[in-house]
Structure 1
Amino acid sequence: MNKFLYTIIAVSMTLGAYAQKSDGSTKSLVKAEKEFAEDLAKHGAKTAFTTYSADDALVFRPNPVNAKTFYAGQGDDKGLSWNPVYAKVARSGDWGFTTGPFTADGETKTYGQYLSVWKAKEGKWELAMDLGVTHNKPLNKVEPLFIEPKDFYKPKFAGDKQRAAGVDIIATTEKTLNTMLKSYGAAAFAGFLNPDARVLFPGYEPIIGKDKALAFFNGMVKNMTLKTTKANKADGGDLAYTYGVATVDYRADLRESFNYLFIYERQADHNWNLIVQVFAPAER
């Protein structure tokens, strides 16, 4: 066997033996995320992403591509670092998300924010989706907020038919949002954003809070169109995500396309509100 390939396999087996364990808690997800960052710093991007990514994981570089396919052709760069500051796991423990700041060393240092979705499989966390945006060196510090599930709930008889029905609810919610955006512009977000919503947008530090997010959208965006690629809902029925392509018409008479990832949370009134949004530039 090729000596380099043997080394990669041996390191991956070693990392996998100690990392990524899932017990359905946000704490275990944050631990997996931090171990992922530590292992990248030690062994490089190719090894770390190969170890931690699900077989069907997507990374946006800038458009969506299979994570393992992409990193198979990359070097083992150790210049990327990040730290989660906000995370939640669904009450069914089947998936969760983390977001926080990252830095990338190169000719010049790059700063930004990432959003990652993780799925639990056979007792361990696997990276399912990862994308991010860049901005200038941050001036504001965001306090960590790791929210544990309020309880554990997973339907005993959750089959493909029931999951598909749940996904349809999320797809319909986003379809309604898209219709409202076409009719009322960015002001339509007022009916969909949670009070603690976070927006990650290129060139800006995290925009936290519904009022600040609405002021940001209304001040800059004239119209927006969403083309949903996929929706997914946790078995516990409390969290969901969608991703796709957003076409933004700015008030400055410019148009730009973004890959987006939205995290939704079910509210007490059974409506689904946006709690995290990221818009990453798309390559057309």
Structure 2
Amino acid sequence: MKRTMNAASQLGLLMVFASTIAGAGAEGPDRLVALEREFAAAVAAEGMSPAFARFLGEDGHIFRPEPTLGRAFHLTNSVPGRLEWVPEIAVMSAAGDLGFTTGPWQYFADAKGTNASGAGHYLSVWQRNENAGWKVAADIGVSHPPVPLEGLKPSLTQLPVLSGAKLNEDGSLKEKLEARLRDLAAGIDRPWAENARLYRNGRMPYVGAAAIRAGLASEGTLTRTRVDRLIMSECGTIACVHGVGKVAFEVVASRLASADASFLQVWIRADDGGWKLKAEVALQLPDKPAD
């Protein structure tokens, strides 16, 4: 049975929080921008696969378009060419342990060439690990006509500390938050955050709830999702989920079709305890061969 949570129970969860995390000293979104620049410099100096293998976490996923363990892939494959990208948005959790960046990218099949053979937008989720430091937990992108990489000044956001935002030590509150988030991710009418972003192949990002709803009418709504992985910050202010589902779209008036898709979503939590979707990327999967 699908688990649900009403407003009263959400408020009750907030009252369970034992203490407030200290925002002072937490790393900010500028750290994510610095990491992206280090990553991009490593790609230029070392090549695609060596750099990706170094910056991806052991369980970090890339999407080809199927979700794939990225580090293992790049350790056993050599991807040619050169990839350049610039973070234009960086969002960090209140605790400074989980965040994401997004921005335009360009790919050059000739590693020393100047003519891009591909372009689009990427979204990367970064997670801080006590032993390994900062690593990419998920990396996904869409293709669209190229946009200039020069002159972009990143927009930086540090999510605020929520009232009593530290997750309780026995993990019960985290389980309840995760259950609620899985329900939301599997739903259709998702609550969008302010300046949320929707990414679909072939299109520039849709920004803001109104543009996203208009875009979903033509690009397809993500439905019947199966969450394969969920990562949440220790302070419970940001989480990412990824998995597979269906993208349903209208072929002609009142006639629907659907296609398998992989997806990555980033959710942020408001002070009232409710989750809102900050970014969603869905990539259509190739048709499965007939038996």
Please, what TM-score do these two structures have when normalized by structure 2? 0.77
- SS of equivalent to 1:120: strand
- Going from structure 1 to structure 2, the CA distance change for 1:151 and 1:71 (only over 3 Å counts) comes to same
The equivalent residue for 1:127 is 136
Q: CA deviation at 1:161?
A: 4.3
Pick closer, same or farther for the CA change 1:154–1:210 going to 2, 3 Å: closer
Q: Which structure 2 residues correspond to residues 8-19 of structure 1 after superposition, within 5 A? A: none
How many Å separate the matches in 2 of 1:116 and 1:53? 10
- For 2:68, the equivalent position in structure 1 comes to 65
Report the TM-score when normalising by structure 1: 0.79
Aligned to 1:110: 118
Q: CA RMSD in A?
A: 2.7
Write out per-residue CA displacement over residues 120-150 of structure 1, whole angstroms, 9 at most, x where no aligned residue.
0137311111111111223899763111243
Aligned partner of 2:176 in structure 1 is 165
Aligned-partner Cα distance in 1 for 2:202–2:81:
24
Listed as ranges, the gaps of 5+ residues in structure 2 are 1-24, 111-115
Indicate whether 1:261 and 2:271 are aligned. no
Q: Does 1:48 align with 2:56?
A: no
Note the 1:52-201 alignment, pairs <5 A.
52-75=55-78, 77-106=80-109, 109-122=117-130, 124-138=133-147, 144-151=154-161, 155=166, 158-175=169-186, 177=187, 181=188, 188-189=189-190, 192-201=191-200
Q: Which moved more, 1:140-149 or 1:196-205?
A: 140-149
Higher helix share: 1
Partner Cα distance (2:50, 2:185) in 1: 36
Q: 1:166–1:233: 8 Å Cα contact kept in structure 2?
A: no
Query: Which range moves more in the overlay, 143-152 or 229-238?
Result: 143-152
Q: Which residue of 2 aligns with 1:212?
A: 211
The count of corresponding residues between Structure 1 and Structure 2 is 251
Whole-angstrom distance in 1 between the partners of 2:208 and 2:152: 12
Aligned to 1:28: 31
Deviation per residue, 1:207-234 (Å, 9 max, x gap): 1111101111124437833222222321
Name the SS for the 2:261 alignment partner. Answer: strand
Unaligned runs of 5+ residues in structure 1 are 1-21, 182-187
- 2:13 match: none
Q: Which amino acid aligns with 1:136?
A: P
**Matched residue, 2:10:** none
Specify the alignment match of 2:246 in structure 1: 247
Q: 1:222 to 1:45 in 2, by over 3 A?
A: closer
Cα gap change, 1:222 to 1:157, in 2 (>3 Å): closer
Give secondary structure in 2 for the equivalent of 1:62.
Answer: coil
SS in 1 for 2:71: helix
Instruction: Measure, in 1, the Cα distance between the counterparts of 2:63 and 2:83.
Output: 15
Alpha-carbon distance in 1 for matches of 2:261, 2:117: 23
* Cα contact 2:33–2:87 (8 A) shared by 1: yes
**Structure 1 Cα separation of the partners of residues 274 and 177 of structure 2:** 13
Q: Distance in 2 between matches of 1:207 and 1:69?
A: 32
Shift of 1:78: 4.6
Asked whether the equivalents of residues 167 and 174 of structure 2 are also in contact (C-alpha less than 8 Å), the reply is no
SS of corresponding position for 2:50: helix
Q: Cα gap change, 1:29/1:51 in structure 2, threshold over 3 Å: closer, same or farther?
A: same
Match of 1:272 in 2: 275
CA distance, structure 1, for counterparts of residue 46 and residue 58 of structure 2: 20
Q: Equivalent residue for 2:235? A: 236
Q: In structure 2, what is the Cα distance between the partners aligned to 1:167 and 1:173?
A: 10
Q: Distance in 2 between matches of 1:167 and 1:220?
A: 28
Give, in whole Å, the separation in 2 of the partners of 1:220 and 1:65: 24
SS in 2 for 1:236: coil
Identical columns (%): 24
Q: 1:125-179 CA deviation, whole Å, 9 max, x = no partner? A: 111111111112238997631112435986385354443333222113324x2xx
In the alignment, which residue of structure 2 is the partner of 1:226?
225
State the 1:72 CA deviation.
1.4
Q: Is the 8 A contact 2:90 2:102 kept in 1?
A: yes
Counterpart residue type for residue 115 of structure 1: L
- Alpha-carbon separation, structure 1, partners of 2:182 and 2:221: 23
